Amino acid sequence: MPAISDQDRLKLAAAQAAAVLVENGMIVGLGSGSTASLAVTEIGKRVAGGLRITGIPTSEKTAAQARSLGIPLSTLAEHDHIDLTIDGADEVEIGTLHLVKGLGGALLREKIVATNTERLVIVADETKLVNRLGIDNRPVPLEVVPFGWQATAKHLRALGATFVLRPGADGKPFVTDGGHYTLDCVFGPIESPERLQEKLDGMVGVVEHGLFLGLTSEVLMATETGVTTMK
């Protein structure tokens, strides 16, 4: 078996700490990305041991993983109130707990699930902690409509962003579960995420963006000294 990296060890610690928060009878949002996937595995072990929950997956990949573990799944059509969602993040802003999400390619469904969740628990390792979103030119992913995406990109350029149209494994544009393209946009350090959110929310062609503001209930942050809860 390949040796587990330090970062993977931290991801696992956060995932395990989150999985124990799941209780019998809960409707549970199942996140996407490598850290959330470890949490799904842990939840799967508990379901195999008799825990009864219903999962709402945030991506086709997570749905497939959950099915393979025997986690019963449903949809927002059946359950529009989710008790607890466990998901990862690409950036966690210290102080506000604002997030950037979407490098894993599932931000639209993740945001729909997060918005309908009572308690959003983010699992992350310390590499995700930032003083300001967008620092070090980290990108904010955007799901955009393929039709006329170049025109949408022109408006993003006017906001001062540089961007990359995310490629898929086949070299063609990556297509999300919702059939959209992803633009990974660099805005630089984001002084006012709220102002940027307002601009992106109002931009035709942008389906959703990776700024998750005011949605997080708590972050389970794994560091070398243990997992701390940030609220």
Question: Binders of ligand A5P: how many residues, by CB under 6 A?
Answer: 18
Segment holding 93, helix H or strand E: strand 91-93
Task: Name the segment binding ligand A5P (CB under 6 A); options: 39-47, 100-108, 184-192, 214-222.
Answer: 100-108
Is 60 one of the annotated active-site residues of the chain? Answer: no
Q: Of 14, 30, 36, 63, which lies in the binding site for ligand A5P, with binding defined by CB under 6 A? A: 36
Alpha carbon separation from 139 to 71, 119, 146, 148, 154 (Å, rounded) = 33, 26, 19, 21, 17
Least separation in angstroms between CB 183 and ligand A5P: 14
Structure tokens at 145: 């409509």
Cβ pair 92, 129 in contact under 8 A: yes
Within residues 102-141, the interface with ligand A5P by CB under 6 A covers 102-107, 110
- The HSE-up count of residue 206 (CA atoms within 13 Å, CB side) is 24
Is residue 88 a contact residue for ligand A5P (CB under 6 A)?
yes
DSSP codes of every residue in 98-148: -EE--TTS-HHHHHHHHHTEEEEEEEEEGGGEESSTTGGG--EEEEE-STT
Residues 6+ apart with CB under 8 A from 79: 27, 54, 56
Q: Of 47, 53, 84, 101, which lies in the binding site for ligand A5P, with binding defined by CB under 6 A? A: 101
- The HSE-up count of residue 5 (CA atoms within 13 Å, CB side) is 4
Alpha-carbon gap, residue 117 to 30, rounded angstroms: 11
Least separation in angstroms between CB 32 and ligand A5P: 4
Task: Name the segment binding ligand A5P (CB under 6 A); options: 84-92, 132-140, 151-159, 223-231.
Answer: 84-92
Is residue 87 a contact residue for ligand A5P (CB under 6 A)?
yes
Q: Of 89, 108, 206, 227, which lies in the binding site for ligand A5P, with binding defined by CB under 6 A? A: 89
Least separation in angstroms between CB 142 and ligand A5P: 12
Nearer to ligand A5P, 112 or 155 (CB): 112
Q: Which of 110, 143, 198, 208 is flagged as catalytic?
A: 110
Tell me which residues are annotated as active site: 110
Footprint of ligand A5P (CB under 6 A): 31-36, 87-90, 101-107, 110
